[in-house]
Amino acid sequence: MNAGRLRHRVTLQRLVKDRNDFGEVVDAWEDQARFWAEVKPIAGKETFIAKQFAAQTSHEVWCRYRKGIKASDRIIDHRGNTLDIKAVLDVGGRGCTLKLLCRETGC
């Protein structure tokens, strides 16, 4: 992997169970790691759902291999956009490079 491509600082977050002030169990996103990556938008579309237009954007996030990244995690990119990870691919199967296929939320 060419290190010069890794120019975006991203944050990996994982959904955890937490308790609020009233003792109720709530879902919360917890930062797991910050690392350098390349974030590339690859597709975009608008759909008409429930009488409203909704934009969907897909991204590829390329980074050095990291153990433990799951498809249930999410990435906060360098612009503050939230990217839900849909697939984690070990490029070449050698444990050197990961390609994360993501969908942007909150568009």
CA 61 → CA 21, 23, 67, distances in Å? 36, 37, 15
Counting the structural domains of the chain, the total is 1
The answer to whether the predicted template modeling score (pTM) of the entire model surpasses 0.85 is no
Which CATH number does the domain housing residue 55 bear? 2.40.10.270
The pLDDT of residue 15 is above 90: yes
pLDDT in tens, 25-66: 999 999 999 999 999 988 766 666 666 665 566 899 999 999
pLDDT for 2 equals: 75
E strand or H helix at 102: strand 97-105
Segments forming the whole domain that contains residue 90 = 3-105
Tokens, residue 37: 């990556």
* Beta bridge partner(s), residue 26: 18
Say how far apart CA 12 and CA 69 lie, in whole Å: 8
Q: Using the 8-state DSSP alphabet, how is residue 77 labeled?
A: -
pLDDT at 102: 93
